[in-house]
Structure formats: C-alpha cells, structure tokens
Structure 1
Amino acid sequence: MIQAKPNIQGVINALDLEAHIEGGYFRRTYQSDHRASLETSTGPRYLLTSIYYLLTEQSPVGQFHFNQSDILHYFHLGDPIEYSLMRADGSLQTLVMGSDILSGQHLQLPVPGGIWKASRLMDGPHGFGLISEAVSPGFDFADMEMADRGKLTAQFPQHRALIEKLTRNEG
C-alpha cells in the first residue's frame, strides 16, 4: 500500500510557521529575555534564541547566508537536509542532517559564526524536513547577510555551480 505524504500545510499550521527570507518556514520558539542582554559589536543580543525551521518540496532550499552568531542545529523529523558550509579560506564542507545515523547522517550540527551556509531538502517520502536551531548570541536579522550571487561567486569561484544552485538570481 502506498502511503500518502503528510499534509505539509498542516505541519506549517500546527507549528505556526511563517515564510523565511532565506527560504523555507520558521518560528522563534524561545528567547532568553529573563536574563541580561549580551553586548555585541552590533548591539545588545539575547544570550540564546531558538527557532523551528522547515524545508518543503515547494520551498526546498535555505539560500546561502552568513551569520555572526554560532548556531546549533537539531534534526527532528522528515527527509534529510544537506548543508553546505563555506569558510573564509574557500574550503567547503557538505554534511547531511537526518535520522539515519548509521549511514553518517547527523542529529546535531554545530555551525560557528562567520561561515556561509546553505541547506537543501533531499528527496524522500515525507516531502519536508524539520529542524530546530539554537543561536548564541541570540539571532538578530542585523547579524545575518543574504548572499549576493555575484559577490559570493567572485569570492569563491571554485564553488560557482553550487552558489548558483543555492542562491537567488537577483539581477
């Protein structure tokens, strides 16, 4: 018997998610507002924030972006999600978050601040992948930069094909 894919809109509604600028859907689930703020070079930040983040077949890519803060990702359910991480020296690391730990998939993925990061939903029976992210210092859009395809390609020409696949062509 062929099982139907879950109602992805039902998942979005149940978790009260909204569209994210980098692709996919999200909702902030926690901010440490009961503690003193942390002073950073770009202003005060919560010590920690956390979100749900969902990629779907209709929105399968989290575009390349750069965060100042450290982020710890936690895989919850659905299909695996592939992460591409580009460091300032041009090195590229590709990792897969998913539940199949015996084949090398990761349940947790730490990403230090200062790395270009993109994600994409891999094919699977669910049609979505759900993770959480814990961010410290807490996430603020002022600390995030969406990739400009031309600039990122100029910085990392050896990764042109991947950059073109995981960025929006804005011009």
Structure 2
Amino acid sequence: MVAKALNLSGHLEGGFYRRTYQADDYATLSTEKGERFILTSIFYMLTRESPIGHFHLNKSDIVHYYHIGDPIRYTLIYPDGKLEQVIMGSDVSKGELLQLTVKGGIWKSSELLPGDYGYGLISEAVAPGFDYADMILGTNVLLKDKFPQHWHIMEPLIQEQAIKHPTTR
C-alpha cells in the first residue's frame, strides 16, 4: 500500500501523514505562540478506511499539491461565513485543481471521493511552519454555533470527540 511505502502515520484530523521537510537550516519566526519554522511540508493521504480530514482551522497559510489517486473535495468556510467546495484531482478539464491555497483563518475539511484507487495523496507546504498549537479542531458545538447555515454540510465532516494535540517539536 502507498501509505506504508511512504511511511505515513495516522493524523489526528483523519487520514495519514508524514512530515517531509522543515526549514531547520533557517532562522525561525517568532509568533504569539512561540517559535516556528519558516516552512514545513507533509505528505497527506485520505483512504477508504479514513476518508475524511475533519474540520479544522490553521493560523498558517497552506498550499496543497495534488499528486495521485482519487479526487479529494475540500469544504472551506471563510471567517465571513462564505462556504466554498473545490475538488483537487488530475482531471483539470473538469475543473479539478492540482494546487489549492488555503489562507490561515479559514475552516477546512477534506473528503475522499469515489474512484479507482481507494486513496488520494497530496502534499502541503505550510508557512509559517505547522505546529499543533496553531490548529483548532472543529467541534459540533463550536461550528454549529458559528455557522448554523452550513450545519447540514458540516456535520458529517466534524470529528465527534476531542483529541488532544500532540506537540510538534
């Protein structure tokens, strides 16, 4: 399986990942929550067994790069309540995206769409570099209160139980 070949581990938001890069040869950035690498990157994979990257919010900007497998739909909710859904995949003639930028402060979830492979693989470049202290997992209470108009779309994409964030460094 691809996840094993890439040495991916389970991610707390769903799916599988492995950090592939951190800019540790460069000075770090000072943020309100501590020092951060200027850039980090990961492989991220959704599979039939773990098809959802549950709603979460990051403080950093993230550029997603589609690689292989089945398409992945991203649901984005902007601070003003606007909802947008986009599909990352290889069929650009159908409007699928090879690259997607999600600015910090936008709620996002991802879900594997049906296809022939049973997985979808992307990479993410995060600046300033990812740290769990800069991520909030969406909860039913938080997101239903904040965006009630989108509840019917959000509900299946929210992780039901809170998971403690590991430390990044």
Quote how far apart the aligned CAs of 1:168 are.
2.0
Of 12, 18, 29, 1:27 maps to: 18
Where in structure 2 are the equivalents of 1:84-163 lying within 5 Å? 84-163=75-154
State the AA in 1 paired with 2:30. Answer: E
Give me the CA root mean square deviation. Answer: 0.9
Alpha-carbon distance between aligned partners in 1 of 2:27 and 2:12, rounded to the nearest angstrom:
28
Task: After superposition, give the CA deviation of every residue in 1:58-102 in whole Å (9 maximum; x if it has no partner).
Answer: 000000000000000000000000000001111001000000001
SS in structure 2 at match of 1:120: strand
Q: Secondary structure at the match of 1:99?
A: coil
C-alpha distance in 2 between matches for 1:30 and 1:139: 11
What TM-score do you get using the length of structure 2 for normalisation?
0.94
Q: TM-score, normalised by structure 1?
A: 0.93
Matched position secondary structure for 1:89: coil
Q: Which runs of 5+ in 2 are unaligned?
A: 163-169
Partner of 2:165: none
The 1-side partners of 2:72 and 2:97 are apart by 10
Query: Which structure's CA Rg is the greater one?
Result: 1
Residue 2 of structure 2 aligns to a residue in which SS? helix
Cα distance, 1:170 vs. partner? 2.8
Aligned AA (2:105): G
Q: Which runs of 4+ in 1 moved over 6 A?
A: none
Answer yes or no: is 1:46 the counterpart of 2:54. no
Shift, 1:169, TM fit: 2.2
> Where do 5+ consecutive residues of structure 1 fail to align?
1-9
Percent of aligned positions with the same letter in both sequences?
53
Equivalent residue number for residue 6 of structure 1: none
Secondary structure at the counterpart of residue 68 of structure 2: strand
- Residue 168 of structure 1 is aligned with which of 159, 162, 165? 159
- Matched residue SS, 1:53: strand
